[in-house]
Amino acid sequence: MLSEVLLVSAPGKVILHGEHAVVHGKVALAVSLNLRTFLRLQPHSNGKVDLSLPNIGIKRAWDVARLQSLDTSFLEQGDVTTPTSEQVEKLKEVAGLPDDCAVTERLAVLAFLYLYLSICRKQRWTKEDLELINKWAFQGERMIHGNPSGVDNAVSTWGGALRYHQGKISSLKRSPALLILLTNTKVPRNTRALVAGVRNRLLKFPEIVAPLLTSIDAISLECERVLGEMGEAPAPEQYLVLEELIDMNQHHLNALGVGHASLDQLCQVTRARGLHSKLTGAGGGGCGITLLKPGLEQPEVEATKQALTSCGFDCLETSIGAPGVSIHSATSLDSRVQQALDGL
């Protein structure tokens, strides 16, 4: 039983290299993003379990007694299991959500209830604990996405950088923390349609598209090698290689048909300031990343962010290669994070 406030955070994730090629058996590199989701667990004596997810407007409460009376035989301690459709229906009944509830709200609440009823938390995490967290996080992903790759939960659990290849995930041992701009073009995209488009282009032009995918694979492998060499003491010439890889990958992704005018604009704005950018994820809009090399003055960074904002984009300065899931003391939190939590 939780006897004091527990603060936990986990990083976000971006794909560094290998988008779309990974679908065709090539290597992808995913890195943790130091834009973190924070969780505050706080004990109450009112007999209720309260859930507040302010970013998507959720505020729900359940009686502890009712939750304890549920048939949770499928949540016995042991191997992590996936709930059946019947068990998901039970969770929907417990959730008590209205029929017109938004999909994001419904899935978030179901994932929370499933994990809440399943997990017995510890406050000191061994490697075995992290492996268990990763398994449960994957089940949360399955509740929401159906058939996820396992990359998102692995990056959020372990942090740093990961290599994904044909279903196998491994950590890069010595990945440096790199400063980036993460820019949201705010252009919606359809990942399924973009993936299908690349597949159709491969079928139509196999001798053209297959070498592109092989080249993207080589870019991922070269980036993996360079990141391993950078370690704790990156050299300027290594940043130059990373910039070249970013440019080449972006051109390849455009050739695959997953670019967008908004992403071209992002690249043009940053290129005018000597910076290098590429899309991250499915493309067709969405987000892009810009590498910030050492020695770049803060006024230059701010001017770039302002230029991107003037295009109608949202732009955040952050870093990749961040720590994975972490426990925090209240005094260690950034003041903005603490204010946000206090406002819940």
Token pair listed for 306: 């302002």
Could you say which DSSP state residue 43 is in? -
Judge whether residue 148 has pLDDT over 80.
no
Q: How many CB atoms lie within 10 A of CB 269?
A: 20
Residue type, 46: N
Chain centroid, CA 131 distance in Å? 18
Judge whether residue 78 has pLDDT over 60.
no
Judge whether residue 2 has pLDDT over 50.
no
Report pLDDT for 274. 97
| Ranges in the chain annotated CATH 3.30.230.10 | 6-173+328-343
Band the pLDDT of 122: cuts 50, 70, 90: very low
Judge whether residue 77 has pLDDT over 50.
no
Best CATH choice for the domain 6-173+328-343 from the list 3.40.640.10, 3.40.50.620, 3.30.230.10, 3.50.50.60: 3.30.230.10
Could you read off the pLDDT of 191-245 as tens digits, one per residue? 889 999 999 999 999 999 999 999 999 999 999 999 999 976 789 999 999 999 9
Judge whether residue 143 has pLDDT over 90.
no
Judge whether residue 174 has pLDDT over 90.
no
Element (H, E) at 14: strand 6-17
Judge whether residue 73 has pLDDT over 70.
no
Spatial distance between the Cα atoms of 80 and 62, rounded to a whole number of angstroms: 24
List beta partners, residue 299.
Answer: none
**Lowest model confidence (mean pLDDT) among 7-16, 175-184, 212-221, 326-335:** 326-335
| Ranges in the chain annotated CATH 3.30.70.890 | 178-320
Q: Which has more confidence, 342 or 103?
A: 103
Mean pLDDT to the nearest integer, 137-144: 80
Burial class from Cβ neighbours inside 10 Å (0-12, 13-18, 19+) for residue 153 reads buried
Judge whether residue 75 has pLDDT over 90.
no
Token pair listed for 321: 């290669």
Report pLDDT for 188. 93
Token pair listed for 199: 């597949």
pTM score, whole prediction: 0.77
Judge whether residue 31 has pLDDT over 90.
yes
Judge whether residue 119 has pLDDT over 70.
no
Indicate the fold that domain 178-320 takes in CATH. Alpha-Beta Plaits (3.30.70)
**Lowest model confidence (mean pLDDT) among 1-15, 99-113, 168-182:** 1-15
Alpha helices in the chain (DSSP H): 64-68, 85-95, 103-118, 127-145, 151-158, 191-204, 206-230, 236-255, 261-271, 298-310, 335-342
Mean pLDDT to the nearest integer, 336-344: 72
Could you read off the pLDDT of 230-275 as tens digits, one per residue? 976 789 999 999 999 999 999 999 999 999 999 999 999 999 999 9
Judge whether residue 55 has pLDDT over 60.
yes
Report pLDDT for 79. 56
**HEC-encoded secondary structure of 177-210:** CEEEEEEECCCCCCHHHHHHHHHHHHHHCHHHHH
Mean pLDDT computed over every residue of the chain: 86
Judge whether residue 74 has pLDDT over 70.
no
